[in-house]
Amino acid sequence: MSSMSQLAVVAGAFRYEYRMQIRRVSVWVVLGLLCLLIFGIWSLGGNAELHGYFTSGREGIPVHWVPPDPRSAVLDWVQFLGLFVPLGIGLVLADRLARDKRTRVDELLDTAEGSPSARLTGKFLGSTLATLTPLLIMYFALVAYMVQQTGQFTTIVPLAVAGFAAVLLPAALFVAGFSVTLPLILRVPVYQFLFTGYWFWANLMSPKIGIPSIVGTMLNAAGPWAQEGIFNYNWTFLRLNATPAQGYLSIALLSGLGLAAVLGMGVYLRWQHARR
Amino acid sequence: MSRFLRREALRYEVRVVGPWLFVLPLFVAVLFAIAAGMMAFKQAQHSDISNMLMAGIEGAVPLVVGIACAAIASREPALELQLALPAQYRVTVLWRLVLLLAWAALIEIAGVAVLALAFPWALHRAGSGYLLTWLAPLLWCGGIGALLALLLRNRAAAIALLGVAWVFELVFHGLMASYGWTQALDLFATMFSAAASFWLANRLELIGLGVLFLLATWFYLRNTEWRLRGEDA
């Protein structure tokens, strides 16, 4: 099959999957509640960062004025979202491909033209971008509020766009690659349990606990390398001394692994079909 | 009632729901026992081993039970048939949920009993803690898993909310313990705040909420035709 028609398969699967996912009310409810939860955490400090604040006086440290810092307000928003939103996206996406099997359309699709890899890639991109759409709207709703409060459009908006592209997008592609494909071999609830445990273990568990983990490696998908390397902003509990190059490398690594999971599953499916 | 307790009926329900769903809590419990055993073998500190065990008893087993309850409430391969039977479908669903919760409770009781007898230092709270450590999060997770799966009409979305809430509480455990209204929802109160004055109130509130969620599930299922709109039916 020519590469042109393979592209048409990707585009077709993408369009269909995007439209199917974006019309699910549950996706909007989950992403909405998630953003509300993260907004709650952000609002504990974010508004003060936006407007400046007086510290509470402690012994040895007199009360003093901390000037407004819209940059921190934006990067905190990115950081808190990065801790939990990929988890939510990964869990929501886990039933997408398994559903084809359950509704028995998978065998029908197998008879159609186009390789499994092309169809998988289209489905992966479509369902991931559709799940990111509600997030994008709510993300920029708070960014608009920050601009309205401070009037600093040129500081806030480019930073917010870069933050989304460098932290949230690669994390979403990474988790989606595995969440779309792995439930083909594991049962969905089993995958969801393992994925929840994985998310805490690999991304959010402080190394101080003393359990071996990949939290300090570049496989950390919650965004510490991009936050520190590219934006020079501290990520909650890790100090990596990351360079900008390492930040960009982490983005490429996470996005690439997500795509590799999809292509790998495509190869596996083709092998499985050949054996049937 | 007696028709449910017959041995063939029990075996049949387990087969319909899926034996693997019942294996899941056992698998998780064994996983944490192995992890704690490995830590003991590497001579980790008692407090770290104890935290690992508490994470299993108070955290992971209730989480997996919540996920399984969402699956039970949302999946029914023969839904149309169920709705046409004289036996009420909601009775069947509640019975399956009770079966799973009881099975998980047995696993928890066995785990706590072993620890209380052989390694009492591993449990953060004795006395009522033997029961309330796991019962409260188990009922809360199970109840909310089943209810959300019905309300959102989608299992994956329900588990997404449950999973995020669970990880959020684990990460921001300090925050959960510091506000009055969040204390009521603190799933990990025994692990992180065993000595706090709000511990007992927290446990009772979680149990109350769990029972409330299960009651809401029961009333939702009164309108059996609503189930037909679910994405997983």
* Separation between Cα atoms, residue B38 and residue B218, nearest integer Å: 42
* Separation between Cα atoms, residue B116 and residue A109, nearest integer Å: 55
Tell me what the mean pLDDT of segment A67-79 comes to: 92
Residue A39 confidence (pLDDT): 96
Name the more confident of B54 and B227.
Answer: B54
Q: Which secondary structure element, helix H or strand E, spans residue A135, and what is its range? A: helix A116-150
Residue A148 confidence (pLDDT): 94
Residues in chain B: 233
**CB neighbours (10 Å) of residue B183?**
19
Domain count, chain B: 1
Name the more confident of B213 and B15.
Answer: B213
Residue B1 confidence (pLDDT): 56
* B209 Cβ neighbours under 8 A, 6+ residues apart: B140, B143, B144, B184, B185
Is residue B189 within 8 Å of residue B123, measured between CB atoms?
A: no
* A-chain residue closest to B161, CA distance: A30
- Mean per-residue pLDDT of chain A: 91
Domain containing B196 equals 2-229
DSSP-assigned letter for residue B186: -
Residue A47 confidence (pLDDT): 85
Min Cα–Cα distance to chain A from B197, Å? 25
Interface of B with A in 59-118 (CB under 8 A): 60, 63-64, 67-68, 70-71
A chain contacts of residue B191, beta-carbon cutoff 8 Å: none
Query: Using 50, 70 and 90 to split pLDDT, how confident is the model at A254?
Result: very high
Query: Using 50, 70 and 90 to split pLDDT, how confident is the model at A2?
Result: low
pLDDT in tens, A40-64: 999 998 888 888 888 887 777 888 8
Residue B86 confidence (pLDDT): 74
A131 has a chain B CB within 8 A of its CB: no
Question: CB-CB: which of B64, B157, B171 is closest to A26?
Answer: B157
Residue B34 confidence (pLDDT): 95
Query: Using 50, 70 and 90 to split pLDDT, how confident is the model at B3?
Result: low
Residue B112 confidence (pLDDT): 95
B chain contacts of residue A209, beta-carbon cutoff 8 Å: 48, 51
What residues does each domain of chain A span? Answer: 3-275
Is the pLDDT at A274 greater than 60? The verdict is yes
Tell me what the mean pLDDT of segment A160-166 comes to: 96
Name the more confident of B44 and A122.
Answer: A122
pLDDT in tens, B62-105: 999 999 999 999 887 777 787 777 778 888 899 999 999 999 99
B136 has a chain A CB within 8 A of its CB: no
Is the pLDDT at A9 greater than 60? The verdict is yes
